[in-house]
């Protein structure tokens, strides 16, 4: 029964991640807001893909997507391609909701950075298998972020302030890195569940490239 409920939960958490295009420093969004590369960009709520009730045509979000590019069209005369940007605040909101709706969890707090997801939560019952619950929480987070992300969990909501203090920080400001790493080490003292290894060489290269760009 437990595995069946987990399967139903994981099947129900497939969702469309709201992303928004970004361009050079002078690019603006559909409502005239400035787009800041690799920064969170909050569109008006009616434009969030995940909020289907706000759209008159919900079927447009059920359609498959396809694009074809060459190097020339991808760059389009710019030094940086128009990559889509994940709204990390929206991701944190949705992951926290998905975790909190797990029948074995009472409350959850989620932080999403440029390469980490940190989750604190309270189990519904103290005698619940904390190892299995930690695995469920991690899988829930991995279902909503790119594969190169690392996920860390702690079944202790008293630590929520430790992750909440990073809310709103910019990926361009690296002064927080040491504090964030210390917080990750703190979460690692709690059961992490099943080892979900997504760190293939290609993903490691991607992560190294991300770090290299941030240091430039």
Which tens digits make up the pLDDT trace of 109-121? 999 999 999 999 9
Domain residue limits, the chain: 19-86, 88-215
- Class for the domain spanning 88-215: alpha beta
Given pLDDT bands bounded at 50, 70 and 90, which one contains residue 1? very low
The secondary element (H helix, E strand) that includes residue 20 is strand 19-21
Question: What are the strands, taking DSSP E only, across 55-201?
Answer: 84-86, 105-112, 116-123, 150-154
Burial of 47 (0-12, 13-18, 19+ CB in 10 A): middle
CA separation, residue 19 to residues 39, 70, 202 (Å): 12, 21, 23
Q: Tell me the percentage of the chain whose pLDDT exceeds 70.
A: 62
Q: Taking the model in full, what pTM does it have?
A: 0.65
Contact 81, 22 (CB under 8 A): no
């Amino acid at each position: 029964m437990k595995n069946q409920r987990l399967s139903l939960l994981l099947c129900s958490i497939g969702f469309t991640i709201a992303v928004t295009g970004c361009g050079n420093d002078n690019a603006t969004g559909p409502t005239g807001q400035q787009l800041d590369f690799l920064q969170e960009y909050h569109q008006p709520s009616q434009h969030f893909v995940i909020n289907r009730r706000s759209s008159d045509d919900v079927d447009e979000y059920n359609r498959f997507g396809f694009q074809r590019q060459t190097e020339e069209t991808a760059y389009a005369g710019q030094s940086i391609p128009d990559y889509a940007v994940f709204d990390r605040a929206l991701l944190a909101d949705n992951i926290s909701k998905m975790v909190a709706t797990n029948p074995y969890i009472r409350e959850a707090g989620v932080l999403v950075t440029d390469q980490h997801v940190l989750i604190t939560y309270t189990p519904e019952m103290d005698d619940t298998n904390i190892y299995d619950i930690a695995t469920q929480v991690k899988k829930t987070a991995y279902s909503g972020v790119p594969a190169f992300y690392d996920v860390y969990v702690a079944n202790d909501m008293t630590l929520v302030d430790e992750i909440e203090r990073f809310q709103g920080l910019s990926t361009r400001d690296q002064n927080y890195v040491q504090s964030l790493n210390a917080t990750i080490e703190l979460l690692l003292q709690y059961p992490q569940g099943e080892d979900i290894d997504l760190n293939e060489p290609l993903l490691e290269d991607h992560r190294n490239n991300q770090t290299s760009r941030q240091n430039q």
